Copies of this chain bind each other. A is one copy, B any other.
Amino acid sequence: MPNPPAFQSLMLPNPLPLDGGESLSGVQIAYETYGELSPDKSNAILICHALTGDQFVASTHPVTGKEGWWMRMVGPGKPIDTDRFHVICANVIGSCIGSTGPASTADDDAPYAMRFPVITIRDMVRGLVALLDQMDIERLHTVIGGSMGGMQALSLAANWPERADRVLAIATTARHSAQNIAFHEVGRQAIMADPAWRDGDYYGEADAPDAGLAVARMAAHITYLSEDGLTEKFGRRLQDRDAKGFGFDADFQVESYLRYQGSGFTKRFDANSYLYITRAMDYFDLAEEHGGTLAQAFAGHDGGNGTRFCLVSFDTDWLYPTSESRHIVHALNAAGAPVSFVELSAPYGHDSFLLDVPALDRVVKGFLDG
């Protein structure tokens, strides 16, 4: 990863207490906003990003030059309409796009590296809530997120129940399963097995653990796609050749695609951040945080504090399948919180929440208008 450009950010005035018992001082939160905040501050929408996401939800990423990751959803006249809403998207702590993370400088002027404390999803959200405090936004119109962003939306609802009118969680789960943890562990081991990782102390060195990070990304990427989607997109088609090469070059298009995904990722992401964020996701178990019962996590919404929930899953998502969303819906029902739920049909697997699924646009728009 190259040296980052200057990101728009804000320093939290107080140390951030963490679930692990430590606290983090001098925390920077990098963020982007879109659309005007109304005078009564009632139109703020917080969008929470996924594992490798960032704050550039609807504007060009300054490192990759690529357009915002949810351009199709956020903008003037779009389902999350920036002519009506003030949209905030911040880089989570532990990440590497301007918010404090393992690559940031510690008190001794050296990078934290693996001295950075292990964080949780709730710690990320605590940082986001502190950002909202700085912005003097007491109650969000809506908190929205897909995948790890959905975990954050649920964590905000569970732990700061007064902070949002609406909670929209897409393609997500209330806890990481053994299989989810297993795939992340493969990625972490790939990074840590790379000698260039140097126990995390690679900042300023000639090379970073890009090879390990690329393998981690490749393994994860398979879990973001459906088997049928992969078959439709690539099948067994060969890459730029008429016949098998009888060698170890990328013969098949799917191999070439994965290699491209892996190497491209290393240009924009820090390997240590990948370790910390996957760890936070693996630690995520909203029920465990609240006495072992998921309904208890949503007890703050019992009797109705006005917060409404919407859960969306995709029929081809095998990373966080529909059953996980249904589990959350049952807990919200048990807690007496109003919730709507829809399973959408889309061919793209987990990644559907980022892709061209018009039905999702309608659900998002309908929920914000409702």
Chain B residues whose C-beta falls within 8 Å of the C-beta of A219 in the assembled complex: 186, 219
Fill in one digit per residue for A207-221: 1 if any B CB lies within 8 Å of its CB, else 0: 000011011001100
Asked if A218 and B258 make an inter-chain contact with CB atoms under 8 angstroms apart, the answer reads no
Asked if B181 and A252 make an inter-chain contact with CB atoms under 8 angstroms apart, the answer reads yes
Asked if A183 and B222 make an inter-chain contact with CB atoms under 8 angstroms apart, the answer reads yes
Asked if B255 and A185 make an inter-chain contact with CB atoms under 8 angstroms apart, the answer reads yes
Most buried by B among A181, A212, A283: A181
Number of copies: 2
Take A214-B193, A219-B186 as given contacts and tell me if A283 and B244 are in contact as well, using a CB distance cutoff of 8 Å.
Answer: yes
Q: How far is the CA of A185 from the CA of B288 in the complex (A)?
A: 36
A370 in the interface (beta carbon within 8 A): no
Q: How far is the CA of A248 from the CA of B285 in the complex (A)?
A: 18
Fill in one digit per residue for A98-127: 1 if any B CB lies within 8 Å of its CB, else 0: 000000000000000010011000000000
Chain B residues whose C-beta falls within 8 Å of the C-beta of A258 in the assembled complex: 182, 185-186, 189
Partner of A186, one of B21, B175, B222, B234: B222
Asked if B231 and A248 make an inter-chain contact with CB atoms under 8 angstroms apart, the answer reads no
Take A219-B219, A244-B283 as given contacts and tell me if A235 and B189 are in contact as well, using a CB distance cutoff of 8 Å.
Answer: no
A247 CB to nearest B CB, Å? 6
Q: Which residues of A contact B (CB under 8 A)?
A: 19-21, 114, 117-118, 175-179, 181-183, 185-186, 188-190, 192-195, 211-212, 214-215, 218-219, 222, 225, 227, 230-231, 233-236, 244, 246-248, 250-252, 254-255, 258-259, 262, 275, 279, 282-283, 285, 288, 318
Please list 24 pairs of residues, one from A and one from B, whose beta carbons are closer than 8 Å in the complex, sorted by A's number.
A20-B246, A21-B246, A118-B246, A118-B248, A177-B230, A178-B230, A178-B235, A178-B236, A178-B252, A179-B231, A182-B218, A182-B230, A182-B255, A182-B258, A185-B254, A185-B255, A185-B259, A189-B218, A189-B258, A189-B262, A190-B215, A193-B214, A195-B195, A318-B318
Which 4 pairs from chain A and chain B are nearest by CB? Answer: A193-B211, A20-B246, A178-B230, A118-B246
